[in-house]
Structure 1
Amino acid sequence: MPWLGTVEKPFGNEPDRLYTQPSLTRGAELLIDNFRSSLGPRGMVKLILQPFPMRDEITSDGKTILTSMGAVHPGAWILREMAYSQIVVGDGVITTLVLAGELLKNSKKLLALKVRPAVIIHGYREAMKHTRNILRKISKPADWRDHDEMLRVARTAAGTKFLGYQAAKLAEFAVFAVQHIIEMRGGKPQLDIGDICVLKVIGKTSDETRLIRGIAFQSGLRHPGMPKRIENPRIALLSCGLEFKRFWEEETPVKVQVAPGRIVSMREARVKMVRENVDRITASGADLVVMSKGCDELHASMLAERGIQVVHRVPDAGGIGRLAKASGGRAVGSLDDLKEEDLGHAGFAEEVKVPRFDTRRLEKGVKSGEPLPEEERLFVIDGCTNPRSVTILIRGQVESGLGESERALDAALAACRALVKEPRVVGGAGAVEAELAHRLKKFALSFDDKTQLAVIAYAEALEGLVELLARNGGLDPIDARLEMEAAHARGLKWTGIDVFARRLRDAYEMGVVEPIQIKDSAFMIASEAACQLIRVDRVLRGYHGATLIPGEIPPGASEGPRVLNDAKDLPEETVKAFRKSRFLKPYGSKLELNL
């Protein structure tokens, strides 16, 4: 039978009944406190220090902050795992965590009033069900074909990052990209975000960020004699390579003896085979060959003589597949199968040399801190007529800025995807939370027991989001909350907080709208996470009956659960063995066994 040890409070000698559930909740709240100041477009950013690899990031993105944090406390760990479900949706991570924190904080007040955890959980779940029903009733239908409507959704999502006017530009690129790649299947729109390639290149400014109606590779032409730019290229896509290995390069145990006189004839035969391959490509009418395998020097030189561009060693899925969708071509596995109808088409294909500056790479003779000019080769295929795959090229001076631009773009794409899946929107800027809280307080009156208190606590948790949004925007949170309550009581259900003008405005007039799918998912995950933590009354850790010292079991193991209040509870030799192992680490005045 496994030996179970209760995870005790790190300081003090309080009885076990006072520790278990409150400490679990406190551990989750400590995790959530890192996210409160980052809620909203005027929220603060976090500086994340990554020791391995040595990289620093400045961001306000909830997904990045969450994935970079380690959670040792079981309460924080459970909450983090639940929040990962919101990451799949793509946005709303901070809203999920902060709402879960408000629900846990309000549950502590109810527990102090002797309200049973089962009653609190029942009230929270009833409130969650009613919240989801209200969302469906008050939301407005949206059309993903409407460019302006989708642009408002994308700008709202990207505007939470600290990019300023750049966020609006990235939102426009996201909308153009999404509307290019949407396909109708069975009368329903289908969107695969994987068909949108995001390429980050250090150098120049963010104003150089652009949308490519095609694809770009971080690679150059195979041969320097090939033309740098071709207008209206016909593109051959090969899932094979154009290279012949000499027999002495093959890894084989067979020994081949060749007479000296045969070497010349073998070379001539090789040249003949290469020329036949080049003739097949030329006969198909291709101006550009993109292949997933290698292209040897002889093939490259002959193709260069005929004015044909070659890009080799392009990944099958990430490059060949996307290029086939963008250009309308079809990848073939052999030159024998290459036909004119398999070729793709584009507006132009060009090799671009991108200057970049990297202060981390210094050579002899260069002063410390002086940037070194470098060039990075990109091959761009742009101007495809009806591309089903596009590329967004992000430019910037520093790597951290590129990362935040990519995260803003990801948020905008996720919002567009949510709108396509469920074309309904609600007002942002705290308007939907305030309206839900107003209606939940009325709904609470339908209960005549302590469930009413739990439903009101859920409504107050939603109002806590409104207060926090106002506080981060520089407004007085109490005044903002009272003004919002009064406005929604008068029937102005889309009144929200304009954090830039620091006053109340209609969310739709501000253009702050959010897809219902993201809001619905955030409320549901936050509610379930809070209910899971509230239901726990004691934390136990199993040691699986294993003995860290062969042949010995710590005293009390056969007596069932044991509280490790201090190292004195164990024999000295057991403590020494624990300290040498990976199973023990100091945790305040107690010991924490990590199994």
Structure 2
Amino acid sequence: MAGQMSGGQPIFILRDGNQRTRGRDAQSNNIMAAKAVAEAVRTTLGPKGMDKMLVDSLGDVVITNDGATILKEMDIEHPAAKMIVEVSKTQDDEVGDGTTTAAVITGELLKKAEDMIEQDVHPTIIASGYRMAAEKAGELLKELAQDVTIDNRDTLINISNTAMTGKGAEASKDVLSEIAVSAVASIVDKTDGETIDIDNIKVEKKVGGSIEDSELIEGMILDKERVHSNMPKKVTDAKIALINSAIELKETEVDAEISITSPDQLQSFLDQEEKMLKGLVDKVVASGANVVFCQKGIDDMAQHFLAKEGIFAVRRVKKSDMEKLVRSTGGKLITNIEEMTADDLGKTEAVEERKIAGDNMVFITGCVNPRSVSILLRGGTEHVVDNIERALHDALRVVGVAIEDEKLVSGGGGPEVEVALQLQDYASSLSGREQLAVKAFAESLEVIPRTLAENAGLDPIDMLVELRSHHEKGAKTAGLDVYSGKVIDMWDAGVVEPLRIKTQAINAAAEASVMILRIDDVIASSNPSPSGGGGEGGMPPGMGGGMPPGMGGMPPGMGGM
């Protein structure tokens, strides 16, 4: 990049090899990249969307239909394309579903913007039009929304079904939706409004059996086994000690040497160790505990004593699982065994070790107040189980969002068509050039029903025309039934989604496309050239002080010894 000087001598501002694209070139380059990413996930949209198989550099395979997962696994280089990935990531964090929708709308908005730029509409005008349209769309969606509460179980199951459809879990979505709704309902935190932390639902996957064998455990599952085979396999009326320090002898902090001169001394030393361990176990027994979950290790000798007392013990339980155990059993984390009392113990009906698909797992069931629950997922192969887990995650998040917001809209591309129609009217009421952008925004939303139809092998234009005519006649909840290829009432069909999916997708898409549109200059640095890059005749970089770096008078680490 060079500026012209009066003497005709160019001045170089950027380092050699840096690239700069400006104006139209930069915009079309960014838009192309973003559109390409949106195209990549477009075929996965809807109940009849297809899946993608992603193979990473190590040969690990992921088969998925989830927009966010696909974009995360596709190693995307282009900076503008990465913004689309962020849109779907935000959508995933906020709502958990609708990730493909958000990416596809962003791509469509940019496509329309490109046409307007061709017609000399300034990007800033497009940006402000898009913002106005997104705000208006949010209001229109709110008007379309209907209420739902945690008691409408059937509706919640419908929401979960909608989220899972097309994700490889259809065949058994009824079983999974029942599980998802029950799981979310049992962890609702009513203290400050109805908040739901999906982290309190633990999903354990086990290959083997069929998807129908999946079950909800009102309590916890640990992928662990008891430490000693003499321990009981099942403890009923369990009193659980949750210990996060090791049940072993402490090593001394200072280096100490013990000199033993005779065998008797050695024996008494060993006896003393054993006595100390016995003391620790006695403390556990004295508190009345009959189950011990330890976050760290349990000494072999201590295992023996625990087994003798008939205590069920598990060691090296993950910290996150310990926290969930605290929530579901009502116990306290015990840091110092010496001070533990009966009040610190958690209570559940039963703790038992069961064999699932050849592995032992510990089930903690019948919790007094299951503030955290577990779901055991089964499936024929690893990929099936992984895919089901992703579908279930979306369903859990979506049911949670619906209970938090208590607002629903219909699915099947209905809301998009309705909002698009009303935005067209809104556009005609504007006088400036923004109305072009608002119109474009309205048309962009129709990409959703169009893509749904395309993915189902229907004629997108016919379907869109039919959808529009229904909505113009006032059927606000009419949507596309991709199975029969007809336009039907989506409320009656039970195809419903939380309002937040739509508002978040539209807002995120508008913001990302505006951001990409406003870029008119891309300056990309290249790696510094190996020739030292310090200008001619200079020193190699880093040698500015006359001494090799780190030799500031003394070897490093010798300061003042």
Q: Which whole-Å CA distance do the structure 1 matches of 2:378 and 2:20 have between them?
A: 49
Map Cα deviations across residues 293-316 of structure 1 (whole Å, 9 max, x no partner). Answer: 211122211221222111111123
Q: How does 1:84-123 map to 2 (within 5 A)?
A: 84-89=89-94, 90-123=96-129
Confirm or deny: 8 A CA contact 2:34 2:107 kept in the other structure.
Answer: yes
SS in 2 for 1:149: helix
When residues 471 and 543 of structure 1 are mapped into structure 2, their CA distance, relative to the original with a 3 A threshold, is: closer
User: Which of 295, 298, 303 is equivalent to 1:295?
Assistant: 298
Say if 2:531 is the partner of 1:549: yes
SS in 1 for 2:245: coil
Q: Which whole-Å CA distance do the structure 1 matches of 2:372 and 2:32 have between them?
A: 47
Counterpart in 2 of 1:243?
248
When residues 479 and 551 of structure 1 are mapped into structure 2, their CA distance, relative to the original with a 3 A threshold, is: closer
Counterpart in 2 of 1:59?
64
Stretches of structure 2 that go unaligned for 5 or more consecutive residues are 1-12, 537-561
Confirm or deny: 8 A CA contact 1:432 1:494 kept in the other structure.
Answer: yes
> Given residue 46 of structure 2, which amino acid in structure 1 is its aligned partner?
G
Tell me the C-alpha RMSD between the 2 structures.
Answer: 2.1
Q: Which whole-Å CA distance do the structure 2 matches of 1:123 and 1:300 have between them?
A: 70
Q: Which whole-Å CA distance do the structure 1 matches of 2:439 and 2:509 have between them?
A: 16
Say if 2:82 is the partner of 1:77: yes
Q: Which whole-Å CA distance do the structure 1 matches of 2:475 and 2:208 have between them?
A: 48
Q: Which whole-Å CA distance do the structure 1 matches of 2:190 and 2:287 have between them?
A: 32
When residues 275 and 92 of structure 1 are mapped into structure 2, their CA distance, relative to the original with a 3 A threshold, is: same
> Given residue 84 of structure 1, which amino acid in structure 2 is its aligned partner?
K
Q: Which whole-Å CA distance do the structure 1 matches of 2:61 and 2:458 have between them?
A: 31
SS in 1 for 2:332: coil
Deviation of 1:404 after TM superposition, in Å, equals: 0.7
Q: Sequence identity, in percent? A: 32
When residues 553 and 447 of structure 1 are mapped into structure 2, their CA distance, relative to the original with a 3 A threshold, is: farther
Map Cα deviations across residues 532-559 of structure 1 (whole Å, 9 max, x no partner). Answer: 2222223222459x554225769xxxxx
Say if 2:315 is the partner of 1:306: no
Map Cα deviations across residues 483-526 of structure 1 (whole Å, 9 max, x no partner). Answer: 11000001100000111222111111111111111211110010
Counterpart in 2 of 1:257?
259
Deviation of 1:440 after TM superposition, in Å, equals: 0.6
Deviation of 1:400 after TM superposition, in Å, equals: 1.2
SS in 2 for 1:103: helix
Confirm or deny: 8 A CA contact 1:474 1:502 kept in the other structure.
Answer: no
> Given residue 109 of structure 1, which amino acid in structure 2 is its aligned partner?
D
SS in 1 for 2:333: coil
- TM-score computed with the length of structure 1 as normaliser: 0.83
The alignment covers a number of residue pairs equal to 521
Counterpart in 2 of 1:277?
280
Stretches of structure 1 that go unaligned for 5 or more consecutive residues are 9-15, 356-374, 555-595
User: Which of 173, 190, 193 is equivalent to 1:184?
Assistant: 190
Counterpart in 2 of 1:386?
369
SS in 2 for 1:325: helix
Counterpart in 2 of 1:336?
338
Q: Which whole-Å CA distance do the structure 2 matches of 1:474 and 1:80 have between them?
A: 27
Which shows bigger deviation, 477-486 or 287-296?
287-296
Deviation of 1:43 after TM superposition, in Å, equals: 0.2
Counterpart in 2 of 1:410?
393
Say if 2:146 is the partner of 1:135: no
Confirm or deny: 8 A CA contact 2:54 2:74 kept in the other structure.
Answer: no
Deviation of 1:252 after TM superposition, in Å, equals: 6.1
Map Cα deviations across residues 395-417 of structure 1 (whole Å, 9 max, x no partner). Answer: 22322111111111110121123
Q: Which whole-Å CA distance do the structure 2 matches of 1:259 and 1:314 have between them?
A: 41
Counterpart in 1 of 2:203?
198
SS in 1 for 2:462: helix
Q: Which whole-Å CA distance do the structure 1 matches of 2:336 and 2:135 have between them?
A: 57
- TM-score computed with the length of structure 2 as normaliser: 0.88
When residues 241 and 117 of structure 1 are mapped into structure 2, their CA distance, relative to the original with a 3 A threshold, is: same
Counterpart in 2 of 1:433?
416
Q: Which whole-Å CA distance do the structure 1 matches of 2:24 and 2:287 have between them?
A: 79
> Given residue 332 of structure 1, which amino acid in structure 2 is its aligned partner?
I
Confirm or deny: 8 A CA contact 1:218 1:377 kept in the other structure.
Answer: yes
Map Cα deviations across residues 62-117 of structure 1 (whole Å, 9 max, x no partner). Answer: 11101011222332123323433222112211101100111111112222222222
User: Which of 213, 216, 226 is equivalent to 2:218?
Assistant: 213
Counterpart in 1 of 2:350?
348
> Given residue 549 of structure 1, which amino acid in structure 2 is its aligned partner?
S
> Given residue 203 of structure 1, which amino acid in structure 2 is its aligned partner?
G
